[in-house]
Structure 1
């Protein structure tokens, strides 16, 4: 007589979903992993694809390949449209219906424009490979067009790059764009010098990296200014359009605008009919389940869970990975205590040889912090090929200041004629 194992459905193959799947691999459960993409993406390095330092294949790997060793896991390329808590079924966009005994929701988050979704057309965010290649195309096209542009105002706008949001993504993007525009590609152009380009980082709050201690925030700002980045804190954006950013006190003409100011949870809480916080994340118990359904776990950016200090846990990869492993252990009967997040600190890089690290009592900045940041990110990459490729590329870029992935792919939706004239100098 064949054994009947519990059916586990995992929705999402990000950090949390993949951690859960690996924990359940080759155990006495039947696992179905559903994701609308066929690859797992190492999001912390997406900005390096956006700034031509790495290629997409360096930071992504096929989900099937990652889990090929797990004979009890099947992978479906599909999208969830409905969850029936009473019948314990998941309905997919293809029409397929999956039964489950245990369900793990790990659907992540998307960009938040704070109710102004029309801004997405003017300032792409950075959540997917498509986002990264779009930003890369915009940056490289701006440089190419500036090389031959004779009108001073248009050239000024083409060589102005605005990053909105002073969190880790915004800080890393601003530093990387500054290096790309000022050091890496200026050698290859005849009419662009390092002094031509201007990178502006706009943050509504009083300081950069608000999750870091004030001293490290100040250090990060100092390092960015050392790269030539114009930092504008306490400056909320009031308007966006083709080729311009408007704040309360200035109008900035810019061909390339990047949004790094906020994220919002997926619609999973709506599918589940679960209680939500103000960011749309599902409120979960100490066991990471939703109230009234002990068989449904919600983890990662989709979940609103609290740490030991009573504060909501941040939407970062380490939280998702630990929650994914915990949910799997609960399903396997190996975890009975409430979930407890182990904080290993915060890291952010600010261009070549510059980074800041917060380890509580230990705070690092500069070259040593950058080495630690580099080692940590290479270590957590999936697959030996990715690690070797990234290490080789970083070493080559460090020695030569060159970017290896400067390919313009696709078409540009914004022609040069859409760049708005300057009204007031920033």
Structure 2
């Protein structure tokens, strides 16, 4: 009798942690992802802003899993899931399964205004990060060759939409680049005249953190030169800027960090999804009525059994869900009951700029330099591979002492003027 086949869709945090947790289990595993790499998404903004190169925060899935003999990695695109027949149709052929783990993550959500995506790209993949980096650096180049002062100012205006961790990190880093990294390298356009706007529809940035840390975040951003707009949603985006209420912000570079929608594969699992496209699951993360199918990571709408609250769509939660699914599969193989998922909240953290960050551990709240050091150590610890940690540490050290960002290379076709 052959070993049960576990089919894992997605090589992100949930899928990879599930796969690794089944290393010694009597199963054969197939990991399917449309890319060939695992991506450390919390540092993706560093690639977008030229602080790190793509290989610093990504590693080939085959390399990560090379010593796990019960795993086959397949780079393929999932097209259809048939839970009744226990089969998944991919572009390269059909795969049968005994257990299915769907961990295909999330993508950008423009709240019904999908046309905005052309003018305000989001940040979810390496391709997104490289495209944003090209757009940002090309804006400074366009300003340098623009003789008209008004047109030059538009190139040096940047708008980041969304005041969550990604938006705050992008805005703070952009301000540092304009004021510290680039000024001595241009002769006609002064990068220090750049204006960076952070737009948040809610009343404060980092709304999931305590109000005192949100206000400290606002103050730190403003010290960096970021203009923070709160309490008004964006009503229009085009090639020349954005509208927030009755105010018009002229800008040739707009970045989207305001919302996410779950992977569209969730709609193929035969249950009603929530407004964000996430799939409601049982307490053990299995699909209702399908105990052999599991949903984990950003695609899952999960209630924390310990505190009866929604589990946030963050990397630590995805890792814990992946490991829990592996434990449930092991329990099913043994014929023992499975436990409910309990989320361990290790706190929230976000960096705002050089030596500036905020950390929320419940009763313990940090901001400024101490929070920044904690943020740095935490991200180094969770990077996959010694090489990644060493290279990132060296790059951050160089950036710290010199304000330089080593990955400022424009590749591919720049956006049109």
| Normalised-by-shorter TM-score class | over 0.9
Whole-angstrom distance in 2 between the partners of 1:192 and 1:342? 49
For these two proteins, the number of residue pairs brought into alignment is 412
SS of aligned partner of 1:274: coil
Asked if 1:162 corresponds to 2:154, the answer is: no
**Cα distance between partner residues in 2 of 1:38 and 1:269:** 22
Structure 2 gaps of 5+ residues are: none
Partner of 1:314: 312
2:239 maps to 1:237: no
Aligned to 2:361: 359
CA offsets 1:226-279 (integer angstroms, 9 cap, x no match): 000000001210001112111112111111110000000001221111221111
Partner residue in 2 for 1:369: 371
2:146 matches 1:144: no
Superimposed CA distance per residue, residues 189-232 of structure 1 (whole angstroms, 9 cap, x where no aligned partner): 22344541110000000000011000000000000000000000
Per-residue CA deviation, residues 47-105 of structure 1 (Å, 9 max, x unaligned), is 011111000110010000000001110001111111111211111122x1111111100
Structure 2 CA distance for aligned equivalents of residues 227 and 353 of structure 1: 11
Q: Please give the alpha-carbon distance, in whole angstroms, between the structure 2 residues aligned to 1:241 and 1:195.
A: 25
Partner of 2:42: 44
Contact 2:156 2:191 in 1 (8 A): no
Matched residue, 1:325: 323
What secondary structure, in the 3-state scheme, does the structure 1 residue paired with 2:353 have? coil
Residues 125-183 of structure 1 show CA distances to partners (whole Å, capped at 9, x for unaligned) of: 00011111111111111111212222011110010010000000000000011111111
Structure-1 separation of matches of 2:130 and 2:232: 28
Aligned pairs for 1:92-107 within 5 A: 92-94=90-92, 96-107=93-104
Q: Distance in 2 between matches of 1:120 and 1:194?
A: 26
RMSD of aligned alpha carbons:
1.1
1:20-44 deviation line (CA, Å, top 9, x unaligned): 0111124210100000000111111
2:210 aligned to which of 213, 232, 247: 213
Are the equivalent residues in 2 in contact too, given 1:242–1:414 (CA < 8 A)?
A: no
Q: Which residue of 360, 370, 390 corresponds with 1:388?
A: 390
| Structure 1: distance between partners of 2:235 and 2:416 | 21
CA distance in 1, matches of 2:99, 2:266: 17
Deviation at 1:336, TM superposition (A): 2.5
Measured after TM superposition, the shift of residue 414 of structure 1 is: 2.8
1:9 maps to which residue? 7
Cα distance in 2 between the residues matched to 1:310 and 1:388: 40
- Tell me the residue number matched to 1:276: 273
Name the structure 1 match of 2:381: 379
What secondary structure is seen at the aligned counterpart in 1 of 2:183?
Answer: coil
Equivalent residue, structure 2, for 1:423: none
CA distance in 1, matches of 2:139, 2:415: 12
Residue in structure 2 matched with residue 88 of structure 1 by the alignment: 86
Contact 2:178/2:192 (CA < 8 Å) preserved in 1? Answer: no
Does residue 414 (structure 1) correspond to residue 416 (structure 2)? The answer is yes
Quick check: 1:190 aligned with 2:192?
Answer: no
Is contact 2:163-2:205 (8 Å) kept?
yes
Aligned equivalents of 1:194 and 1:121: distance in 2?
25
How far, CA to CA, are the matches of 2:315 and 2:25 in structure 1? Answer: 25
Aligned pair partner of 2:62 in 36, 61, 64: 64
State the SS of the aligned residue for 1:406: coil
Q: Say which is worse superposed, 325-334 or 216-225, in terms of deviation.
A: 325-334
Alignment partner of 2:402 out of 383, 400, 407? 400
Name which of 107, 123, 127 aligns with 1:126: 123
Q: Secondary structure at 1:312's aligned position in 2? A: coil
Deviations 1:1-33 (A, max 9, x none): xx5211100000000000001111242101000
Match of 2:25 among 27, 42, 45: 27
